[in-house]
Structure 1
């Protein structure tokens, strides 16, 4: 029996979206796969209100996970997509019209830039990239035909923290929806909807799934008008998420509150260790006091996760290869948010126009992206020590 106290988020993540049938039931909904849904009578088949009527619109597996994400995000409506990228691009497509204008942070995920610069451009949608530190100054970029603003905080690869409340206030004043890619914080350490965003987007592929074995995107929204546009767009393009991936993500969600503090602690331990190394030019982790946006991160976020970046000094490709090849516990692969640690070089210079960055060479060294997994921080540090020794020997 409830004592009337509000459940903690950890308890809600473990218990939301679960069946409660009596006298017996599985702990969680199994993956319910379906294309055709059968109706027992003509009256059932022709009924106006039908919770399930075709597999593309979801099954009980989907509804259960949507309920859990709605609880996590503080949202009235949740939609699922086959990937995080699909969640972002679908939202942009839902709001953009031929001849319209959208504002996208210069630090957006680079495949999103490709979508804007090629696909949306063909639709005669103009994309304008803005400085992620613009805050309320974004009001000066909004036009009469601005259809949406897309933010991502921290920024992809370079980890700038955006002033989401200030951008949200300017967007609301102009009547423009604000979409926030919130994958880094997993909507545990930052709540976009509570800070004024219209839509909160996540790649559930990352921390929610947590095991690098599924692809999924989530879209959370409260505004009825925005919800209708997103829902209509999703239905019209026929996008749907696999029941198996949804089930895997829901399973991962159950342990999210237990895993994130380990990612956070390991990430901060590695970032502090790297910052003390002579070879490291700078570390880009918003939880460090040295980060230029640390105060803003402290104001709006309740924690950090395991993804951050650091810059090596100018070096040869032979040295960079030696560094990467010496790593044992850090894998080299795309994505992040799983239990395993990752370390890869990232070509940021290809994906910035407002804040251009020189290509690695005589002026700048390569930028490395680290995801701190669930291994021992001591072992990860020893691994990096070996990599730096190989880096020096190759020079």
Structure 2
């Protein structure tokens, strides 16, 4: 071939880096267009098979590596990445539900999942019904001939009830119904959801897998190949993709996730135990505490706890006062999500979120970060003083 002009040479360089480079980090492979050696290779590849590459939306070595590691942590076989935890939930619903179908969701479900269920019911002809998160085996009485999917959340991310996942799975499977779990709280570390009978595990990787409060990403993990193919088809049709820089950041955080999770757990239990002694607090909602609904189930099924828990203030305190408490915190910042190094605090109008909530006090949720617990206790104490 004749010598290339400069502009062409800039684009089509002859240089190739030598083989044999080794390092701990996973390489970041960016791509929209994926190249094929010839037409036969292009036509032979299947975007649903992860033994080759077809287009950047379907993955590069970076995202394939992250999917494989997440599936391994959870004890699954197949993993799909989504742009957020909510996108992962949406993918499950749209893969498995159609007009005329029915989905059951716990009454303490992650609020955007509730909004999604209501949207499906209003605009797509899919019935969305809400059940008591502590119903256990009694869910069999709620399953209808058109029920296709049951969502679970362990625990509820605001009111912290712990469901009996094995009992729900046995009842669902006896009726041919699939069970999905939002397993974000345990990060796949403290709960082996597939071993309890769950069909689909969903994670918001935004939380502990990232650990930096800087990534939005979700994952859906399965063991069954046919079920994964249904999910994968929805994933493609929705056009869900993730940035490889974000995938790399999650990969970089995974080696420290278990140690961070355990540190969050230890600090949260210490602070929750201190709060139980305070006269301002009427209830501490932490599954590791004996008086939290579903504690016996947590003790049976879990090997640890996250840094997220809630408290209910004594009902003598008004919303204005509890808002003042939250505003007065200095180390705790006001913001949604959890799993990062920084502690967070958010008040909730829980009575408007739940069907049969009995407590009259204001519910406040704490995410315990990686600060020293004594400093966090001192911060809460000074906010009590000005409440």
- TM-score in terms of structure 1 length: 0.89
Match of 2:222 in 1: 221
Match of 2:324 in 1: 322
Mapped pair 1:381 → 2:377: yes
CA contact (8 A) 1:348 1:357 kept: no
Compute the RMSD of aligned alpha carbons.
Answer: 1.5
1:241-390 map, 5 Å: 241-314=242-315, 315-353=317-355, 355-356=356-357, 364-390=360-386
Shift of residue 192, structure 1, vs aligned partner: 1.0
Shift of residue 191, structure 1, vs aligned partner: 1.4
1:199-214 map, 5 Å: 199-214=200-215
Shift of residue 176, structure 1, vs aligned partner: 0.7
CA contact (8 A) 1:133 1:162 kept: yes
- TM-score in terms of structure 2 length: 0.91
SS at match of 2:32: coil
Instruction: Tell me, in whole angstroms, the C-alpha distance in 2 between the residues paired with 1:194 and 1:91.
Output: 20
Deviates more, 1:143-152 or 1:286-295: 286-295
Instruction: Tell me, in whole angstroms, the C-alpha distance in 2 between the residues paired with 1:98 and 1:85.
Output: 21
Q: Which runs of 5+ in 2 are unaligned?
A: 1-17
Shift of residue 340, structure 1, vs aligned partner: 0.7
Deviates more, 1:283-292 or 1:58-67: 283-292
Shift of residue 317, structure 1, vs aligned partner: 4.1
Shift of residue 22, structure 1, vs aligned partner: 7.7
SS at match of 2:266: helix
CA contact (8 A) 1:97 1:147 kept: no
Instruction: Tell me, in whole angstroms, the C-alpha distance in 1 between the residues paired with 2:40 and 2:251.
Output: 34
Q: Deviations over 1:258-295 (max 9, x none)?
A: 10111001100011000000110100001112223211
What is the number of residues matched between the two proteins?
A: 365
Match of 1:14 in 2: none
Match of 2:75 in 1: 74
Match of 2:10 in 1: none
SS at match of 2:103: strand
Shift of residue 145, structure 1, vs aligned partner: 0.7
Q: Deviations over 1:109-163 (max 9, x none)?
A: 0011111101343110001100001111111111111110000010121000000
SS at match of 1:136: helix
**Change in CA separation of 1:318 and 1:167 when aligned onto 2, cut-off 3 Å:** closer
Q: Deviations over 1:291-331 (max 9, x none)?
A: 23211110000001100000112333442232122211111
CA contact (8 A) 2:319 2:362 kept: no
Instruction: Tell me, in whole angstroms, the C-alpha distance in 2 between the residues paired with 1:296 and 1:348.
Output: 23
CA contact (8 A) 1:150 1:179 kept: yes
SS at match of 2:370: coil
Instruction: Tell me, in whole angstroms, the C-alpha distance in 2 between the residues paired with 1:229 and 1:47.
Output: 21
Shift of residue 236, structure 1, vs aligned partner: 1.2
Match of 1:173 in 2: 174
Match of 1:6 in 2: none
Instruction: Tell me, in whole angstroms, the C-alpha distance in 2 between the residues paired with 1:22 and 1:121.
Output: 56
Instruction: Tell me, in whole angstroms, the C-alpha distance in 2 between the residues paired with 1:381 and 1:308.
Output: 15
Match of 2:41 in 1: 44
